[in-house]
Structure 1
Amino acid sequence: MNKQKITLAVTGLNNTDNPGAGVPFIRGIKESEAFDARIIGLVYENLEPGIYMENLCDRIFQIPYPSSGSDELIERIENIHQQEHIDVLIPNLDAELFSFMKNEGRLRSRGIQTFLPNLKQFQEREKDKLPEFGKKYDIKVPGSINMSTLGQIKDLEDKYNYPVMIKGQFYDAYVAHNEEQAKQAFHTIASKWGFPVIAQEFVKGTEVNVIALGDGKGNTIAAVPMRKQYITDKGKAWGGITLADEKMMELTRSIISKTKWKGGMELELIKTNGGEYYLIEINPRVPAWVYLAVGAGQNIPEALVKLALGMDVQAMTKYKIGKMFVRYSYDAIVDLEKFAAISMNKEI
């Protein structure tokens, strides 16, 4: 079988203790039976580990933060496109998605394909709107309060018992066992991610997750559930195992069907001791553990790129149960010239 040659641009090469999905996404594409991909790595920082991994990317370009403005970011992508002729662009970080969704038509007119949720889908599942999302789609979600001032923390005890979850609108979540811890988490998150800061009711149970892919028409193309085996102090999975759980699969298919979700997603759920499921978060892109799905038999990166190119994709309904991933730290020794090149020239 002849593989189709494509040029694929990928963000999220920050493979640290708070990893992006870029590196495992690229690994999935390199195992694809459909594509022979030239990989363009797009980075925000000159120390993102994916820059220095051997045989991962063919070229690396530094791009401006979305906070610099969507136009500046997209103009940089267009400049890179003139050199590399990008066929498909896969963004992997929450904070950049709005800029790419907003400019999806502009990118397409240049010949750069994406496969992203639309703005309505993206906005209605935001953490500060999750209670309304739950009511609309008949899904159990914890109660929450959107906070913009420190004084609102005093109101928490009137509504919820400690502990409570304190979350940022994009990233970071802390368990607060008392008012002082809640204030500390509020300051940390507000300074990093701005407002609102979300206080979410703590639901006791086991955290489980589903990675899924929707075709934008209500069909679930892929879905793999897992349970975190090891969690870092940032709440990130450092190990996990695939599960046989039909209720999680039914919930996933229902959400994708009702929302007509387009693109990758991760559902974060709490399974209570009574067997109920509470949706605590929807991440609007593939998670950093996407390679577990590949190892379990569903190459979601390949399927996502196919959808972006308008190819027919058959739904994947089987996966291997009991497959585990274990993430680890690895010291890469690199020459200073590579660091200097990305720092000075903004490309390698």
Structure 2
Amino acid sequence: MDVPQSTPSMGVEEEFLLVDPRTGQPAPLGAEVVAAAGRRFGVELDVELARAQVETKTSICHTLADVGRQLRGMRLVAADAARGLGCTLLATGVPPVGGPEVATAGGDRYRHLAEDYRLLAREQSICGCHVHVAVPDPETAVQVCNHLRPWLPVLGAVTANSPLARGRDTGYASWRTVVWSRWPAAGPPPYFESAEHYESVCELLVDSGAAHDRGMVYWDVRPSSHLPTVEVRVADVAATADEAVLLAGLVRALVTAALADVHRGLPGPRVPTELLRVASWRAARDGLTGLCLDVPSERLVPTRLVLDRLLHRVRDHLDGDDLALVRDLLARVDLHGTGAARQRRAHARAGRLSDVLDQVAADTVAGTETWAGQAGLSSTRAE
């Protein structure tokens, strides 16, 4: 497939939980899983603040098909490395069992985080999905972020995948969103007039101790602190690789549409940050099948209606193959529900948390069979 020159490249980062398959409790083996993945498969994973987590990163991708291949491969490798160490890889936004305090990783950076942010850091065991999309320069990045702000709540609803925590239903589709919002530089970002304005606010956050560095500016969308990209960070880790591909397709199309508007000199809508916080909270509570706050009208409407508006906004910025794939993947979500809905259904069948863990483990590696066959590996499945 020929990729239009105006279509930017992208990359996806996913965070995963490691659990004891017998108890469901977080298993503090992140560093060991990272080492095993490198030793056995030559694949580089990353550790996180919580020792019971690992992170995967794709390389630069130009098509959604490439994103899907890489995500499936990384999930399979991480799951096989985890299984070899007696634990299970789960794609879920928060631990369904255990917590809230978790063991934190070593190293100077994580030690300083634990010292400065105290219980907040010790309860940090959430797993998200971050989509990076290339932009030409910092000024453009800031303006693109302004355009993306109104769409953040519905993007969070698409992959809502954390309804259970500490062994019970939270009543939210994305409990991770609520936990994450406690950090001083998390949630919907302000509207920024320019790259200079953005830099001045970041300096204030660092100088005040609200962030150690630019990497801790955790807003739901931001210019990346280390890459020439806009980074959308609003979503739970997707239950399946296909749902992560859906998110990546929507995000890249939104960025492409925003780039076109910036090129024409059109500013992003000046939506008040407090309105976005309310909309994000409502989307986190109700998920894709409930109601959310429609940002332009400030009225509650079905979340699925807002998603249809998003698709209308981006359809001219998805080529034929990507548009067909996004529609197909969204139809599957409409049919089977989000990760949050499937976790709840699993729990409702018999009230057993073990059924939830089995469902999440199976979803985590769903669709990896084809990739495994091509790579000569065996696909991991929940026992």
User: TM-score, length-normalised on structure 1?
Assistant: 0.29
Q: Greater relative contact order: 1 or 2 (C-alpha under 8 angstroms, separation 6 or more)?
A: 2
The structure carrying a bigger helix percent of its residues is: 2
